[in-house]
Structure 1
Amino acid sequence: MLILRARPNLTLFARAALLVALLAACGHNERDDIILDPTNNHAVSYWHDVGAATVNASAAVATTPEEQRPSFATDLATMHLAIYDAVSAIDGHYKPFLQGTSMSTAPGASMDAAVSAASYGVLRALFPNRTAQYQAAYDSYVATIPAGEAKTRGLALGAEVAAAIVANRSNDGRAIALAPYVPGTAPGAFRGLNPVSRFFPSIRPFTLTSTSQFRPPAPPALDSVAYATDLNEVKALGGAVSATRTSAQFETARFHTEAPAIFLTRNFGKFARTTPDVADAARLMAIIYVGYADAIGACFEAKYFYEAWRPLSAIPLADTDNNPATVPDPGWMPSMPTPNHPEYPAAHSCTAGALGELLRQYYGTEKVSFSFDSTVTGTTRTYTKTDAFAEESRIARIYGGMHFRYSTLAGAELGKQVANWTLQHQFGKRN
């Protein structure tokens, strides 16, 4: 068994006291079991947690589009791209996200300083009214970096890269004006009032040509066998009252109901802590957040294109679907709260599908073990394959009564397509 650890650094361990300690195991099985030590509290890990706290905070005053219409994945992808480009300029192994910057390489500069300045520059630009989340963190962290030319160059590099990334992402589309939403009334149409995240499809992707690039085919027709099969499945397994759902299945549904911005930033942070090399951690975190951001944008583009109804509407109104294999249940309710946005495709499946494929390609194997925890259930679950979390997340939405199986499958496929595109077009080695 090979255990990989970063070189001990007491200063970094002292900094870690400011952050929430999270445990995970992540590795791949080839000839040896590889266990990545979950206590690497380096600059990337530290600034991920500061960034997550900033993005998930609220402010009395909201002046920027990022503060007014938050998208945690987009905002943390922006920060982690700045980290990645700054580290890549020092490390020199991987191509930067932004090509042709004036400081394309900066060997010898302090990575800690560059990561700090890059993160701080992005957070200050996007969230000027949330300084309580990052100003003291920046001041205290930078103060621990030894003075000298390496620190000076690192700070300058990080600031330069942050400015370039922020400029690249300015006017990203989230400020688009939205007309009042008119819910549908026809069979199959989404009926939610004031649905959320309608601006997601308008956010400019990081790597995709457009958010509609991988739009899935239309969901099954209401009078089809496929539709009836999946409606009857969620009706049986996903109801508030179910004679067929097991207690384990119910707990699986509950595990995946924590707010994504909290659940995922906390658990994604574990990948930084289980990656001992700073340059590798910078690349992995950028890959995760960029892939996630593009997957959620593509997913919501499809959601608001098709505007399909949820089981919450479909099952009570099954007498309107013209399908002899479905029977209405006017009193049916899902076992978990239904998110207020259209059903198809399933967003959790889009993003989890992307994550699984990103991890598989990053590690070069599907045999990766990692752990996620949920504050809803107070439990931790360990996944031993890159797609195991995606599979569980997918089926959990059926147990929760939120989605049809065909929607979860379409979402997972969309996520994989986004992941493939992301890694084909960014984050490769320098020539």
Structure 2
Amino acid sequence: MTVRESSIWLVGLLACVACSDGPTLPVQDEPGSAGARWATWVLQDGSVLRPSPPPAASSEQARLEIEEIVRLQSRPGWEAEVRRWEGAPSLPWTHQTLDLLEFYWPLLPDVRVATPARAARIMALLHVAQYDALVATWDAKYSYQRPPPFVADSRVHAAGAVAGVPSYPSEHAAVAGAAAVILSYAFAREDTAEFQADARRAAESRIAAGVAYRSDVEAGLALGRAVAERVIQRAMADGSDAVWAGSVPQGENLWRPTPPRRVSSPFDPLAGSWRPWVLQRVDAFRPEPPPALGSEAFATDLNELRRLGTERTARQGDLARFWATDAPSTRWELFLAEEISRRGWSALRAARAQALLSVAMYDAFLACWDAKFHYWLARPITADPRIATVFATPPFPSYPSGHSTISAAAAEVMAELLPDAAKTYHDKAYEASLSRVWAGVHYRFDVVAGEQLGSRVGKKVVEYGRRDGSAFGGK
């Protein structure tokens, strides 16, 4: 197809989108061919895994694939599967992963799949893989400029939201292929065949929607899987499989197992040595030592926790429980997913935002865990067993607070992505931070140090995002 022909069909595509059966994505939200040049996390660039060209428009294969779509759209009930996978293609996989983490959360400490740091790691792997897969998809889309089926044949109807982009390969298929591979790696205890089956269903829903040929789907699935395998190669060398062979240090005001279960092996003591995505060194922002036992600063914050036993309000207790229901990063993943859905962001913009947020929280966890296991500060209930906590104290050192650290990092990214909602998310981060004091499981100096640490990590990730070549969420 010549450049002039490509321009003609793209103009026609936008006209078809305007009169398609469903809502359209905002034109200003779609990066077009520029999306192929956005910076990637694992791939060298978007072109390294470019698939072979699609079947020619005049080929027998293309004709047969059009006939398949016509048959699918003549069957009753075909719209249901299309609706299930509507919208930004990364979102259903985000929710599925969060559901799995929610399942594993109550199994702690016995099954350590969803510890705070590991939950953040899984979300970063998922969203990095999906984003890189989409950049590679955009490279192929604008290299081959294949018109989608509903443009090529008037018998095909475009169902649901339609993005004005070439169809080969399918973005939904690429995301699904990547997600299924990551979930199979991260949740090996599960029925991994079901992840692959879901990927197939998500991808093929685009055939029924009239926006993808079968060859678009197959190329997208293969591309997504190939990207995810590269992400897993990196993951297998990130240090997270190292087994801690150390021992809990002994000394005054150092961490020791806390009631009621008195878990003797703390969660992920080596997480501070895992490989980060953006930070050059996880100890680059390590906070100063906490106040010494017996100091005025220490006594002030300890007495605050003692008073909460009788002065804690019902709202403070409710907020403490709200922020402790799951791994802290999952709340922020849901906040962003809700914004993406409400604002109707396109596939590539949504995936970029999710990758930045997940990476910020993962790197923040590493920085936090580095400090926790550098100082090994005992929890408040160790300093005074009479402190009344809202729930059991988590089994790892106190300083700094993990919730405070990752929430501050998340708020920096959310403020960058959503400037009109910056105050809302900074307020949520402050609430998440204070919830740990209200719960009685952290000193106020824990949360202040965490807020400062997380903010510095989040700003580093924001700086990275501003250099990625996109036009969204940057200044």
The answer to whether the 8 A contact 1:44-1:278 is kept is yes
Q: Deviations 1:91-132 (Å, cap 9, x if unpaired)?
A: 46xxxxxxxxxxxxx984321111111212222344444216
2:317 is matched by which residue type in structure 1?
F
Mapped pair 1:404 → 2:424: no
1:71 is matched by which residue type in structure 2?
R
Q: CA deviation at 1:393?
A: 1.0
Which residue of the partner structure matches residue 113 of structure 1? 173
Which residue of the partner structure matches residue 140 of structure 1? 201
The answer to whether the 8 A contact 1:288-1:358 is kept is yes
Q: For 1:272 and 1:306, how far apart are their aligned partners in 2?
A: 39
Cα separation, partners in 2 of 1:364 and 1:90, compared to 1, 3 Å: farther
1:311 is matched by which residue type in structure 2?
P
1:86 is matched by which residue type in structure 2?
A
Q: CA deviation at 1:298?
A: 1.1
Which residue of the partner structure matches residue 247 of structure 1? 314
Which residue of the partner structure matches residue 375 of structure 2? 306
- For residue 386 of structure 1, the aligned residue among 401, 425, 430 is 425
Question: Equivalent residue of 2:206, what SS?
Answer: coil
Which residue of the partner structure matches residue 467 of structure 2? 428
Q: For 1:248 and 1:49, how far apart are their aligned partners in 2?
A: 28
- For residue 73 of structure 1, the aligned residue among 117, 120, 128 is 120
- For residue 338 of structure 2, the aligned residue among 254, 260, 270 is 270
2:88 is matched by which residue type in structure 1?
H
Which residue of the partner structure matches residue 209 of structure 1? 280
Which residue of the partner structure matches residue 162 of structure 1? 228
- Aligned counterparts, 1:309-324, within 5 A: 309-316=378-385
- Aligned counterparts, 1:212-227, within 5 A: 212-227=283-298
Mapped pair 1:122 → 2:122: no
Q: CA deviation at 1:226?
A: 1.8
Q: For 2:301 and 2:284, how far apart are their aligned partners in 1?
A: 26
Cα separation, partners in 2 of 1:211 and 1:404, compared to 1, 3 Å: same
Q: CA deviation at 1:221?
A: 2.2
Unmatched segments (≥5 aa) in structure 2: 1-21, 26-76, 105-110, 140-165, 208-212, 258-263, 471-475
Overall identity of the aligned pairs, in %: 28
Mapped pair 1:283 → 2:352: yes
Q: For 2:196 and 2:101, how far apart are their aligned partners in 1?
A: 14
Mapped pair 1:415 → 2:454: yes
Q: For 1:248 and 1:173, how far apart are their aligned partners in 2?
A: 40
The answer to whether the 8 A contact 2:436-2:442 is kept is yes
Unmatched segments (≥5 aa) in structure 1: 19-39, 59-64, 93-105, 317-330, 369-383
The answer to whether the 8 A contact 2:364-2:409 is kept is yes
Which residue of the partner structure matches residue 175 of structure 1? 241
Mapped pair 1:260 → 2:327: yes
- Aligned counterparts, 1:17-32, within 5 A: none
Q: CA deviation at 1:272?
A: 4.1
Structure scoring higher RCO (CA < 8 A, sep ≥ 6) equals 1
Q: CA deviation at 1:151?
A: 2.6
Which residue of the partner structure matches residue 360 of structure 1? 415
1:358 is matched by which residue type in structure 2?
V
Q: CA deviation at 1:168?
A: 2.3
Cα separation, partners in 2 of 1:155 and 1:352, compared to 1, 3 Å: same
2:93 is matched by which residue type in structure 1?
W
Which residue of the partner structure matches residue 48 of structure 1? 94
More helix by share: 2
Q: For 1:172 and 1:274, how far apart are their aligned partners in 2?
A: 35
- Aligned counterparts, 1:338-357, within 5 A: 338-357=393-412
Q: For 1:50 and 1:315, how far apart are their aligned partners in 2?
A: 41
- Residue correspondences, number: 351
Q: Deviations 1:26-85 (Å, cap 9, x if unpaired)?
A: xxxxxxxxxxxxxx6431111212333445556xxxxxx996988121112111111111
Cα separation, partners in 2 of 1:203 and 1:13, compared to 1, 3 Å: farther
Which residue of the partner structure matches residue 24 of structure 2? 7
Question: Equivalent residue of 1:47, what SS?
Answer: helix
Q: For 1:263 and 1:82, how far apart are their aligned partners in 2?
A: 18
Which residue of the partner structure matches residue 191 of structure 1? 256
Q: For 1:136 and 1:67, how far apart are their aligned partners in 2?
A: 23
Q: For 2:272 and 2:183, how far apart are their aligned partners in 1?
A: 23
- For residue 395 of structure 1, the aligned residue among 430, 434, 437 is 434
1:346 is matched by which residue type in structure 2?
S
Q: CA deviation at 1:427?
A: 6.5
1:387 is matched by which residue type in structure 2?
H
**TM-score, normalised relative to structure 1:** 0.73
Q: For 2:114 and 2:451, how far apart are their aligned partners in 1?
A: 29
The answer to whether the 8 A contact 2:405-2:450 is kept is yes
Mapped pair 1:150 → 2:216: yes
The answer to whether the 8 A contact 2:81-2:205 is kept is no
* Rg comparison, structure with higher value: 2
Q: For 1:275 and 1:111, how far apart are their aligned partners in 2?
A: 19
- Aligned counterparts, 1:85-104, within 5 A: 85-91=132-138
Q: For 2:329 and 2:290, how far apart are their aligned partners in 1?
A: 30
The answer to whether the 8 A contact 2:133-2:174 is kept is yes
CA-atom RMSD, angstroms?
3.0
